[in-house]
Amino acid sequence: MFSRTRVKICGFTRAQDIDAAVQLGADAVGFVFYPKSARMLSTEHAAALRARVPAFVQAVSLFVNASENVVREILEQVQPDLLQFHGEESPQECRRYAHPYIKAFRVGAPGLDTVDGLLEQCLNYRDARAWLMDGYHDAYGGTGTAFDPELIQGLQARLQDQDGLPPLVLAGGMRIDNVAERVALHRPYAIDVSSGVELEPGIKCHTKMGQFMQILGKAS
């Protein structure tokens, strides 16, 4: 069991929101590079936001089935600490950049709707720095769609006796009114939140972020 639950807040578009998240104690901030997302950033905008992220807070760049050229441009211009792959990227595609990465899984999607299927897919990405469990939706990420907790519990049971595997990060429908319950049930390494602390897509609510961090701190 981890000493505390870490938190990544994802989908930033404004400098003042990053400043507030850092002050509130976020461990990581996420930038989205998915053209269909309302939180999509240009390379220039992302580079300016990334420059506000201080030492010991990680900057994470999120992609969904992006081309190699796009990912390499972001690596060069934005210089994220971590890449987050949220689509159907193969293990080879995730590894080609020789850069630390997180692999997201849409729990409940075809092939990921059983514990065995979820475990099999996760083990294909053993070198990921974390496995992120998101809810299944036609869209990718930031939808607020929750996953089936029994699938996560089943996965954790299968993993508990195995050493050296990536830790679990829980996303999908995390909000002020349910994060304490989710943490108590799953005891994850980290929580990833986006829509649950927003006024609208890409616009973070500083009050909600503060409440979320406070509740998470007490629940950890």
| Catalytic machinery residues | 10, 134
Q: Are residues 156 and 131 in contact, defined by beta-carbon separation less than 8 angstroms? A: no
* Alpha carbon distances (Å) from 67 to 30, 89, 93, 192, 198: 19, 10, 10, 24, 29
Distances (CA, A) of 169 to 63, 67, 133, 189, 190: 17, 25, 6, 6, 5
Q: How far apart are CA 196 and CA 210, in angstroms?
A: 12
Place of tokens 């304490």: 180
N- to C-terminal Cα separation, the chain: 10
Give the whole-angstrom CA distance, residue 110 versus residue 27.
32
CA 10: distance to chain centroid?
A: 7
> Going along 15-158, which residue ranges are E strands?
28-32, 58-63, 82-85, 101-107, 130-135
**H helix intervals, the chain:** 15-24, 43-50, 68-77, 91-95, 115-123, 149-159, 179-186, 206-219
Report the distance separating Cα 111 and Cα 40, nearest Å: 28
